[in-house]
Amino acid sequence: MSTELPITIETLMEQCGGMAVVAQSVLDEFLTQVATDIAEMETKLAGGDLLGASKAAHRLKGTAGVLGAAKLHSLCQAVEFAGKEGRGDDAKNSFAGLKVESQRCVDAVPAVRASVK
């Protein structure tokens, strides 16, 4: 089991102009957004709305990029592209990993907060 954080603090701070208060705000927004986007993707995929799932994945992908959460970013991109291309099974398979990785990121937020000063 790796103890490496799924969020890259250096990238987060760079994206936030080196300002800890901005980084903390981005972390707050992520915690709010991730649950909404995951629920939306799950609902859209279950209902066969691949474009809707793709849009939710795109939103979360942007936040993952700001966080430096490379694996989450990659999984969001996979769901986004599979959804746009009408590949439902691929979107659902990528979503399963995305859901696990998003939880890893959520779980890492307290450690990231402690490191962002």
Dihedral over alpha carbons 38, 20, 12, 105 (to 10 degrees)? -40
pLDDT band at 95 (very low <50, low <70, confident <90, very high): very high
pLDDT (average), residues 18-24: 97
Say what the pLDDT of residue 1 is: 40
For residue 3, is pLDDT > 90? no
Cα 104 from chain centroid (whole Å)? 10
Say what the pLDDT of residue 106 is: 98
Token pair 């990029």: residue: 65
- 38-87 residue pLDDT tens: 999 999 999 999 999 999 999 999 999 999 999 999 999 999 999 999 99
Query: What residue segments make up the domains of the chain, in order of their start?
Result: 10-108
What is the average pLDDT value for the chain, to the nearest integer? 96
Tokens of 21: 């208060």
Single-letter code of the amino acid located at 57:
A
- 29-43 residue pLDDT tens: 999 999 999 999 999
CA distances from 76 to 15, 24, 111 (A): 19, 22, 23
For residue 117, is pLDDT > 90? no
CATH match for 10-108 among 3.90.870.10, 1.20.120.160, 3.40.50.2000, 1.10.3720.10 = 1.20.120.160
For residue 17, is pLDDT > 70? yes
